[in-house]
Amino acid sequence: MKFLSDSALERLREGTEAPDLAGTRYRLLERIARGGMGVVYAAEDENLQRRVALKVLDVPGTDGDLANRLVREARVLAALEHPGIVPVHDVGTLADGRVFYTMKFVEGQRLDKYIVSVTSIPDRLRLFLRICDAVAFAHARGVLHRDLKPANIMVGPFGEVLVMDWGLAKILRSGDSKTTRAADPDATIFEKPKQSALSGDSTEVSVVTGHGTILGTPGYMSPEQARGDVELVDARSDIFSLGALLRFILTGNRERGSTPGAVRIDKSLSAICAKATAASPAERYPDVQEMALDISRYLDGLAVGAHKETLLEKAGRSYRRYRFFILLVAAYLAMRVLILLFLHR
């Protein structure tokens, strides 16, 4: 048996990592990123002569949990045709046995990098509303994202927002997109189609992993998700993540409360974040539209549902909203006073 040096082991690892695209219409260009499930490469679709992103598992096989998750992710994306959700082009198995899918190659920046260049709060809020649009659309189709965080949001060169990485998405039963979903004692956080990744009905839910498997990202994951409390995971869990995301967009910090030197945000916006990230799902917004509506009301200078204003705050907000007219009237009155004074001199 031949002795393999450490450097030979490294070369073998490097040499065998690239997927075998023989027999496909794709040509490998470069590695873009590595995730928990596999690797994302830039590839060229030689038939259509365009660049695509190719997500491929490390390990071959079509019946493992990861393979099922990848195929399911592709199918979730295929079912969600929306400008804010990255479109999927193809799914299949490579000659080396690895499951892959291709999607639109998104050129842009991750939200956490992009947000630094956006200094205006209203601009940041408008960007957040576009994220809400995509998530609300998915919820309407019975799909929960369950891993919303800045790293999973891409912003394109024209400011277009794309919600990425639907690998942890949960498909609710057909017509079960409401937050009042009946408790499913057998469900776990990670679910997949019953027969295999390839069975026809992708909305069917069944159990595949141990009860209470925790999937998500700390800080953006709702308490019920972090506890593995499957019965309570619904659209409001994504709303919790959106609340943490909003706080990050506004302050660069996802945590609740302020630290010395932290960016101070308006009380109304702070109240929206607090309501969205309430520990109890019942205290959060019932759906994404409600949350987006509060943001829109704030942008329009109206009172937000999450915050009960004092008289002084109400006066201040009214002043900010009607500042132009108030100043116009004040200027008119001042002119009248000056004219009257001049005439009576």
CA dist 111 and 295 (Å) reads 19
Shortest CB 203 distance to other proteins, Å = 18
Nearest residue to 148 (alpha-carbon basis) of 249, 55, 41: 249
63 is an interface residue for other proteins by CB under 8 A? yes
| 163-202 footprint of other proteins as x/- string (CB under 8 A) | ---------------------------------xxx----
The first and second tokens of residue 188, run together, are: 């776990």
Contact between 230 and 207 under an 8 Å Cβ cutoff? The reply is no
- Strands in 161-163's sheet, in edge-to-edge order, are 109-110, 153-155, 161-163
Q: Given the complex with other proteins, which of 99 and 136 has the nearer CB atom?
A: 99
Q: What DSSP state is assigned to residue 341?
A: H
Q: Given the complex with other proteins, which of 31 and 323 has the nearer CB atom?
A: 31
Residue 147 annotated as catalytic = yes
- Catalytic entry in 58, 90, 112, 147: 147
Helix, strand, coil share (%) of the chain residues, nearest 5: 40, 15, 45
Q: Which residues 6+ apart lie within 8 Å of 282 measured at CB?
A: none
309 is an interface residue for other proteins by CB under 8 A? no
Q: Among 57-65, 81-89, 184-192, 302-310, which window interacts with other proteins (CB under 8 A)? A: 57-65
77 is an interface residue for other proteins by CB under 8 A? no
Please count the helices (runs of H) and the strands (runs of E) in the chain: 10, 12
Contact between 103 and 166 under an 8 Å Cβ cutoff? The reply is no
Q: Which of 71, 77, 161, 246 binds other proteins (CB under 8 A)?
A: 71
343 is an interface residue for other proteins by CB under 8 A? no
CA dist 239 and 245 (Å) reads 9
Q: Which of 96, 176, 229, 290 binds other proteins (CB under 8 A)?
A: 96
Q: Given the complex with other proteins, which of 69 and 130 has the nearer CB atom?
A: 69
62 is an interface residue for other proteins by CB under 8 A? yes
Catalytic residues, by residue number, are: 147
Interface residue list for other proteins (CB under 8 A) = 1-6, 8-13, 15-17, 20, 22, 34, 58-66, 71, 90-93, 95-97, 99, 196-198
